[in-house]
Structure 1
Amino acid sequence: MRIAVLDDDNNLLELVCTILNAAGHTTHPFLSGKEMLHQLRRESYDMLILDWQVPDLSGTEILHWVREKLSPTLPVLFMTSRSGEDDIVAGLAAGADDYMIKPIRRSEMVARVQALLRRAYPTQAASEHLQFGIYKFETRAGRVSVNEVPVEMTQKEFDLALLLFRNLGRPLSRAYILEAVWSRDVDIPSRTMDTHISRVRSKLELRPENGYRLAPVYSYGYRLEQMTPE
């Protein structure tokens, strides 16, 4: 999962990122609240971890913006050095899903993050069979079928299609898709992603009459939309 982490203490920021990277996530560290907000306007993340007390822009201010502008189900964990009940209640009331009191403990951090991610993304669980209308994914075998008819796809095409269906209705930035499907091979030509998007749209016949539409999001990325019957 792609997790953005905000803390103005560089040592703590590095610790949190090291813990989560070791747990298999990809972290994006921010020392400045304004810098994080700038990126939130341009990029998509699976989860946010916010230090409550950042000098230039507080975790509270960022959280208010996130809840107003982004998905209401985006999980947010806040970290605070203040253990007073009023502070914690205020953080949760502002829209945070959970909190941790510093100093950070490795096992607790991983457990809380995993619990929030499982709740926010239930279809990301390691199920071998996922059904979305006429589309059926066999995740372990890397196979997909439409109306029970198998569709020939490369591994990257399958990974891309599965990513889109698992994030139905959610705009995904180009950087997010690149990281999720091509891992750290960031040197691939920019047209490669667009070519794969086109192939997935064509092979899976992603059009309104089949219940789904794969649409570009201008200057951002792509979104797979589920169409409602008229």
Structure 2
Amino acid sequence: MAKQILVIEDEPNVAAFISQGLQESGYNVFVAYDGQNGLDLLSQKNISLVVLDIILPGMDGREVAKKIRKMGYYNLPIIMLTALGTTENIVKGLDAGADDYLVKPFKFKELLARIRARTRNKDKILSKNHILRIEDLELDSDAKIVKRAGEEIKLTSTEFRLLEYLLKNKNKVLNRIDILENVWDVNFNMGTNVVDVYVNYLRNKIDKNYGTKLIHTVIGMGYVLKRE
């Protein structure tokens, strides 16, 4: 059965361009021109992925993404389209619940590559053992729960994927390109510092209030998750 994609985009020409390309690539496509109609379609259809414009009438894309997560679609991939390509705006979109972003104008083949990456086996970086541990930090990849010293820590979907990748490769120094390609699946703009921003987010949540620091910077090389 063909995967079903929901496109929430208020510009008719852009929506038609995306819809036609996806249909020609074998997807079933539903289009909404504002956030509320998009949420209504989502609740009615078996959607595999959402392509979401950030600038929408009424409710903007960030608010739509937050509502999608609040509706219980925690693992539904969301690719956000934005004309605002700064790190600050990218991070705001990811913080709202998006899994990926694409800056307008974009080439359709790039969007298609990201959709394929997001709708492929979502568990490709998971260990066969769904519990990943180091010291008193524990990540349950099935239940999507992270605990340290027995205390549950709330992470966004992006923070969870980053921590999961670090745990899967504990004691190994990972450069920024490694992290971008494996956590975000595709090559992001190397000029952004999204990786550094999210590593700092993780540090504040899993290291800041604990005696043993687990995330370490290797100057000029990248990051490593290990005991001090």
- Matching residue within 19, 25, 28 for 1:26: 28
Cα distance in 2, alignment partners of residues 3 and 84 from structure 1:
26
SS of corresponding position for 2:30 = strand
Question: Is 1:56 the counterpart of 2:58 in the alignment?
Answer: yes
Tell me the matched-pair count.
122
Partner of 1:5: 7
User: Deviation of residue 118 (structure 1)?
Assistant: 0.7
User: Deviation of residue 60 (structure 1)?
Assistant: 1.1
Partner of 1:94: 96
- Matching residue within 36, 44, 47 for 1:45: 47
Partner of 1:36: 38
SS of corresponding position for 1:120 = coil
Partner of 2:224: none
Partner of 1:120: 122
TM-score, normalisation: structure 2 = 0.51
Cα distance in 2, alignment partners of residues 53 and 19 from structure 1:
21
> Per-residue CA shift, 1:126-169, capped at 9, x if unaligned?
xxxxxxxxxxxxxxxxxxxxxxxxxxxxxxxxxxxxxxxxxxxx
Equivalent runs, 1:138-153 vs 2, <5 Å: none
User: Deviation of residue 23 (structure 1)?
Assistant: 1.2
When the two chains are superposed, the root-mean-square deviation of aligned CA atoms in Å is: 1.5
Bigger Rg, structure 1 or 2: 1
Q: Which amino acid aligns with 2:29?
A: T
> Per-residue CA shift, 1:11-51, capped at 9, x if unaligned?
00001111111111111011121111222233321110100
SS of corresponding position for 2:98 = coil
Cα distance in 1, alignment partners of residues 45 and 26 from structure 2:
20
User: Deviation of residue 121 (structure 1)?
Assistant: 7.4
> Which moved further from structure 2: 49-58 or 34-43?
34-43
Go from structure 1 to structure 2 and tell me whether the alpha carbon gap of 1:48 and 1:65 turns closer, same or farther (over 3 Å shift).
Answer: same
User: Deviation of residue 112 (structure 1)?
Assistant: 0.5
Cα distance in 1, alignment partners of residues 15 and 9 from structure 2:
6
> Per-residue CA shift, 1:161-197, capped at 9, x if unaligned?
xxxxxxxxxxxxxxxxxxxxxxxxxxxxxxxxxxxxx
Go from structure 1 to structure 2 and tell me whether the alpha carbon gap of 1:34 and 1:40 turns closer, same or farther (over 3 Å shift).
Answer: same
Q: Which amino acid aligns with 2:97?
A: G
Unaligned runs of 5+ in 2: 125-228
Q: Which amino acid aligns with 2:22?
A: L
User: Deviation of residue 2 (structure 1)?
Assistant: 0.1
Partner of 2:108: 106
Equivalent runs, 1:125-164 vs 2, <5 Å: none
Q: Which amino acid aligns with 1:31?
A: Y
Equivalent runs, 1:191-202 vs 2, <5 Å: none
SS of corresponding position for 2:79 = strand
Partner of 2:79: 77
Whether the 8 Å CA contact 1:77–1:100 is kept in 2: the answer is: yes
Cα distance in 2, alignment partners of residues 71 and 120 from structure 1:
14
User: Deviation of residue 107 (structure 1)?
Assistant: 1.2
Whether the 8 Å CA contact 1:73–1:120 is kept in 2: the answer is: no
SS of corresponding position for 2:50 = strand
Q: Which amino acid aligns with 2:59?
A: L
Identity %: 29
Cα distance in 1, alignment partners of residues 78 and 100 from structure 2:
7
Unaligned runs of 5+ in 1: 123-230
SS of corresponding position for 2:76 = coil
Go from structure 1 to structure 2 and tell me whether the alpha carbon gap of 1:114 and 1:52 turns closer, same or farther (over 3 Å shift).
Answer: same
